[in-house]
Amino acid sequence: MAILEQRGGGTRAALAAHALVGRSSVCAVRIEVRLASAEHARLSYRDGAWSVRDLGSKNGTFVNGERLAPGSARALAGGDQLAFGDPEATWTLADASPPVPMARRLSDGALLAGAGALLALPSADDLRACVVEVEGGSFLVEIDGQSRPAQDGEVLQLGGEAFALHLPTPPAATDDAGERAARIDETELRFRVSRDEEAVELTVAGGGDARVLPPRSHHYMLLTLARARLRDRDAGSLGPPQRGWVFVDDLCRMLSMDENKLNVEIYRVRQEMSAAGFARAAAVIERRRSSRQLRVGTERLVITPMPAAGAGA
């Protein structure tokens, strides 16, 4: 996550993909400098790099001590020094990493940052909506059990609060297939389940690597969806695009949980896969846009019983 840090002041501002800088209350980065304009400059991330554009300010925008022409832009690198109006009041681009999806709570201006390509709103423990990155770098918003395209700048009304989305711009070019991380649909999920189903061991195998994940309660939810997809595959009456879909309400009944708890479980599975290094980790759980249905995002599934105690591995 990109960070702009004020010299000497200790202020650190997380940067959304497009961040307005100035004295106005609408700015993502508020500048308490008399010489700064109300809307002074804009920081943006596109095609793998940050840049700053002066917005016609009266007293100028400075990069490493050099004043930009009014209205002009300059590419930035990590460690660059910026100043807005007063060349002595500098900020450092302390972290130039790509932006993550974010949302601004309109009631108080608080900026909520996503975890990788996932943004839980209002929080991961009270999950009323989830913004997820999909193929091509675009985003979907999942809300009320359904998904739809998410738009940069749109406002979501959630539990009496309003949140404005700040989403990264999709890249102009696709990733190099030779360098990209493994995708969920290229990965095998291997479940070992105890006789009483109290324990579920999950191994993810892909790219020549197999990792056993620490036991988590949400693995049982993933196992339930895996069983549904395997059941449809083994029945042979449905093609791959139609296999494994389960209605949200039915899944809640099977797992004896409400929808909010289910959404938290889904978020935690995706977060776990993202932390394990998978590209487009949100695809481990797919949602149908036209109905309240979801499924596990791969058909490479293996379910076996755990050996009985004393029987050996």
Q: Model's pTM, two decimal places?
A: 0.78
Neighbouring C-beta atoms of residue 108, cutoff 10 Å: 7
DSSP string, 164-219: EEE-PPPPSSPPPTTTSPPBGGG-EEEEEE-TTS--EEEEEEETTEEEEEPP-THH
The pLDDT, as a whole number, for residue 40 is 97
The mean pLDDT value for 76-82 works out to 96
pLDDT digits (tens, 9 = 90+) for 101-138: 999 899 988 889 888 789 999 999 889 999 998 877 88
pLDDT digits (tens, 9 = 90+) for 179-209: 445 677 788 999 999 999 999 999 998 777 8
pLDDT at 245 > cutoff 50: yes
Domains along the chain? 3-95 (2.60.200.20), 102-166 (no CATH), 184-305 (no CATH)
The pLDDT, as a whole number, for residue 177 is 41
The pLDDT, as a whole number, for residue 58 is 94
The pLDDT, as a whole number, for residue 309 is 63
The mean pLDDT value for 89-110 works out to 91
Q: In what order do the strands lie in the sheet with 73-76?
A: 29-30, 18-22, 41-46, 49-54, 73-76
